[in-house]
Amino acid sequence: MSDLGSINFDALTPAEFEQHLPDLFLAGGKLSEDPRLTRFLSANPDCAALVRDLETIAETARSLFEPVHEPSDAVWSNIASKLAEEAGEDGGVTDLAG
């Protein structure tokens, strides 16, 4: 990981940008809107496209947090029977399959 304090944004090269990119992203904020990078990204459209794409990926990833998949009914049946079994061993009577 690199030291962001050492970056000269006015003389940044694409190779240096690539080297610092992980830390620039981790520093927070939207890189495509970072005023320190405005001139560099305008002059280097491939780097600008990379930044936009990586931001899009990270933003879309957050939408994956909401679950869309559901386990089969067998999962709960197994859980319920195991818990009922354990409750029986403990002397309790628990009808989890209800």
Partner 1 sequence: MQSKPTPGLFKRNPPIAGEAEAIERAKLGDPDAFSKLYALHKRRVYTLCLRMLGNVSEAEDMTQEAFLHLFRKLGSFRGESAFSTWLHRLTVNLVLMHLRKKGLQLVSLEETINPSEEDAPKRDFGSRDPQLSGSVDRVTLERAVASLPPGYRMVFVLHDVEGFEHNEIATMLECSTGNSKSQLHKARLRLRELLRHPEQLPPPPQASHARELVQ
Inter-residue contact 60 to 80 (CB < 8 Å): no
Q: Decide whether 5 or 92 has the Cβ nearer to partner 1.
A: 92
How big is the chain by its Cα radius of gyration, in Å?
A: 26
- Residue 18 CB, shortest distance to partner 1, in Å, is 7
What residues line the site for partner 1 (CB under 8 A)? 1, 14, 18, 21-23, 25-26, 28-30, 33-34, 44, 46-47, 49-50, 52-54, 56-58, 60-72, 74-76, 78-80, 82-83, 86-87, 92, 94-96, 98
- Residue 8 CB, shortest distance to partner 1, in Å, is 19
**Alpha carbon distance 1, 65 (integer Å):** 28
**How would DSSP label each residue in 34-50?**
-GGGHHHHHH-HHHHHH
